Amino acid sequence: MTFFAKFCIPFIVGVVVLFAVIAIKYLSWLRNLPKKDWKLIFSNIISWRTVAAAWEVVCESLLHRRIFKVNPRLGYMHMSLAFGWFLLIAVGWMETVAYMGFKWVPLQGHVFFKYFVPLNGITEHKPLFDFVMDLLLLFVLSGVGLAWFKRLRSRALGMKKTTKHVLFDRIALSALWFIFPLRLVAESITAAIYGGGSFLTGGIGILLSKSIGVEALSYTYEPAWWLYSTALGVFFIAMPFSRYMHIFTEIPLIFLRHYQLRPESKEKSYDNFELEACSRCGICIDPCQLQSQLGINDVQSVYFLRDRRYNMLQQKIANNCLMCGRCEQVCPVGINLNTLRLNSRSSMRNIPNEGRYNYLRNVDTSSGEGKVGYFAGCMTLLTPNTLRSMRQIFEAAHEQVWWADKEGGACCGRPLMLSGEVDSARKMIEHNKSLFVKHQIKTLVTSCPICLKVFREEYKLEGIEVLHHSEYILRLIQKGRLKINYQRGATFTYHDPCELGRGSGIYDEPRAVIKAVGKLLEPAHNRKEAFCCGSSVANTSINDAQQLTIAGKVATELSETGAKTIVTACPLCKKAITRCTETQVVDLSEIVAQNLKQ
């Protein structure tokens, strides 16, 4: 048997194009990885990391476990398409082997086996294979049905918004929608003419033969297989240029991630794996407050990644983001969305170092010293109650403190980084770092989550521990260096700042400090789900009124807890929320300083 018919040509062309493009893409991305990334790959490839990566591929690329957790209906849709199709290929291959033995059969022979071997005069296996293949086809078709339904009624699948597609997406999507219905038609007509098939294709075959007649159906036999093959071919050709490239790309990404590769603050070849692993599932749209509270619908991560992938990213998309991390939190592919957006800003807006910050050389006139360096941060300097409270806390703990902001310290550099001015940020970082080393501090405490993040991630402060003041205060309390008067009847609610919570994983320490002072009442959205206050320095695109709208939502939710005081641990959040509520808003350090035992 030759296992070839003319209708196989679209499918064969599609497969050749697909694998050629994928090979070219992956090889060029891998070839351009920096040496240190290659070292990571070689040092990790023969280790348990590879096994862990393979297991994650099964759980995520086939079963879509993370999407299930966020949205079970959407998870089922993705799983039935991916896992169902995989099983159709695997069982189809087993079926071929069962009939032909272990001999070489070309790929199209497996795919169109029902055409080439409609009955084969066979055998005891056939009813079982027919049944399993029909069951799997039904499984995939249920996913296709949900995908169709999602386009019409996205809310029924738990999504307020679905993504907008580019041309290649539309071509691939249309082909994908028809692949399995056309397979059902082709196999059912085959069953009508030759017999065979199980409850699905066999059942429809009997209906067709009775209603249309075998002779009339024989005219549709070849066209039906042509259409099925053409849908496959079109899908495979469009796939590497469309969102469906994620089907393959998530697999190498998972392995590279297990080998410790990460995006950095400058665009690099690895970013391509993250960009093309985005399935455009749209899960990142609903949590975005720019969408839900301001009605801005075209800047969310899915659109940012799409535009960057097709080299059509504009500053107005890259810049309009709070970097709140709410989307990154739910992304089932685990894409480093904030980092990718930051390095896009950097490549679009970075102004090369032109000596604009040379004046920094002359600002260090400091003489103070201390085991602890306190870096209040620019925004904290504008919130005097926090500064005053921190001074009281240091004094109560008899801490010897070097006050960085007063003694030559410059901005931490993160606002510049967030805006894309990486070179200028580096100037600030070098300047501050040299001060920290010069004053031989052992612990660096900051009251600003924005500073905290850049200190921990970019400064590389060897031998200096970096703490947010919530961590530092809790430590003082636990060591007995601060004594607090617990206030019976005092009720507090807490707003998680984005950069402290999702950004640095600090959720428990501020809560523990609050509970040392009084009762804590949690708002509806807290911890990883907490809302952004809207005043992020990462977004210079939205105006004051829009910032107020976002802050108003946060303030309302916090006030609804009934707490007498709203506590936060970020100077920006404090300022934003204060503008929108009658309830008292304070920094964490204030409730501690106000309740110190003398």
3-state secondary structure of 491: strand
**Least Å distance between CB 457 and ligand SF4?**
17
**Burial (Cβ within 10 Å: 0-12, 13-18, ≥19) of residue 42:** exposed
Rg (CA), the chain: 30
- Which residue, 322 or 516, is less far from ligand SF4 as judged by CB? 322
283 contributes a contact to ligand SF4 by CB under 6 A: yes
Q: Closest Cα partner for 304 from 294, 290, 292? A: 290
The piece of 278-286, 428-436, 464-472, 475-483 that touches ligand SF4 (CB under 6 A) is: 278-286
Q: Which of 147, 200, 288, 563 binds ligand SF4 (CB under 6 A)?
A: 288
Contact 275, 246 (CB under 8 A): no
User: Residues touching ligand SF4: how many (CB under 6 A)?
Assistant: 25
278 contacts ligand SF4 (rule: CB under 6 A): yes
- State residue 350 phi and psi, 5-degree precision: -65, 130
Structure tokens at 441: 């501090």
Residues 473-512 that bind ligand SF4 (CB under 6 A): none
Where does this chain touch ligand SF4 (CB under 6 A) — which range of 42-50, 214-222, 316-324, 482-490? 316-324
Among 284, 435, 474, 554, binds ligand SF4 (CB under 6 A): 284
Tokens of 501: 């919570």
291 or 446, CB closer to ligand SF4?
A: 291
CB-wise, 192 or 337, nearer to ligand SF4? 337
CA-to-CA distance for 36 and 41, rounded, in angstroms?
Answer: 9
76 or 225: CB nearest ligand SF4: 76
- Shortest separation between residue 344's beta carbon and ligand SF4, angstroms: 12
Give whichever of 57 and 281 is closer to ligand SF4, judged by the CB atom: 281
Confirm or reject binding of residue 322 to ligand SF4 (CB under 6 A).
Answer: yes
Query: What is the DSSP pairing of strand 372-375 with strand 401-403?
Result: parallel
Give the torsion sign (CA, 422, 424, 425, 426): positive
Tell me whether residue 140 or residue 285 sits nearer to ligand SF4 (CB atom). Answer: 285
Of the candidates 44, 300, 424, 446, which one interacts with ligand SF4 according to CB under 6 A? 300
Cβ atoms 596, 483 nearer than 8 A: yes
CB of 284 to ligand SF4, least distance (A): 3
DSSP line for 181-224? HHHHHHHHHHHHHH----TTHHHHHHHHHHHT-HHHHHHHHHHH
Q: Are strands 443-446 and 565-568 parallel, antiparallel or unpaired?
A: unpaired
305 is an interface residue for ligand SF4 by CB under 6 A:
yes
Per CB under 6 A, 441 contacts ligand SF4: no
Site string for ligand SF4, 226-265 (x = CB under 6 A): ----------------------------------------
Comparing CA positions, the residue from 271, 297, 294, 295 lying closest to residue 284 is: 297
Q: How far is residue 168's CA from residue 166's CA, in Å, rounded to a whole number?
A: 6
Nearer to ligand SF4, 284 or 410 (CB): 284
* Chain centroid, CA 18 distance in Å: 26
Question: Which region, judged by CB under 6 A, interacts with ligand SF4, from 47-55, 284-292, 519-527, 575-583?
Answer: 284-292
What kind and span of H or E run contains 146? helix 126-152
- Contact stretch for ligand SF4 (CB under 6 A) within 172-180, 230-238, 273-281, 437-445: 273-281
404 lies in the binding site for ligand SF4 (CB under 6 A): no
**What does the H/E/C string look like for 225-248?**
HHHHHHHHHHHHHHHHHCHHHHHH
Q: Which is nearer to ligand SF4, 14 or 252 (CB)?
A: 252
Q: How far is the CB of 552 from ligand SF4 (least distance, A)?
A: 16
Partnered with residue 80 across adjacent β-strands are: none
Instruction: In angstroms, give the least distance from the CB of 536 to ligand SF4.
Output: 8
CB 322 within 8 A of CB 538: yes
Tally of CA atoms within 13 A in the half-sphere of 195 that contains its CB: 6
3-state SS of 161-182? CCCCCCHHHHHHHHHHHHHHHH
Least Cβ distance, residue 291 to ligand SF4 (angstroms): 7
The upper half-sphere exposure of residue 547, i.e. CA atoms within 13 Å in the direction of its Cβ, equals 20
Q: Looking at 281, 404, 551, 593, which residue binds ligand SF4 (CB under 6 A)?
A: 281
Indicate the angle between helix axes 126-152 and 72-100, nearest 10 degrees: 150
Q: Could you tell me which stretch among 207-215, 262-270, 283-291, 379-387 binds ligand SF4 (CB under 6 A)?
A: 283-291
| Closest separation in Å from C-beta 326 to ligand SF4 | 4
Q: Which residues 325-344 are close enough to bind ligand SF4 by CB under 6 A?
A: 325-327, 331, 333, 335, 337
**Cβ nearer to ligand SF4, comparing 130 with 286:** 286
CB of 281 to ligand SF4, least distance (A): 4
Instruction: Examine residue 275 and tell whether it contacts ligand SF4 (CB under 6 A).
Output: no
Site of interaction with ligand SF4 (CB under 6 A):
278-284, 287-288, 290, 300-302, 305, 321-327, 331, 333, 335, 337
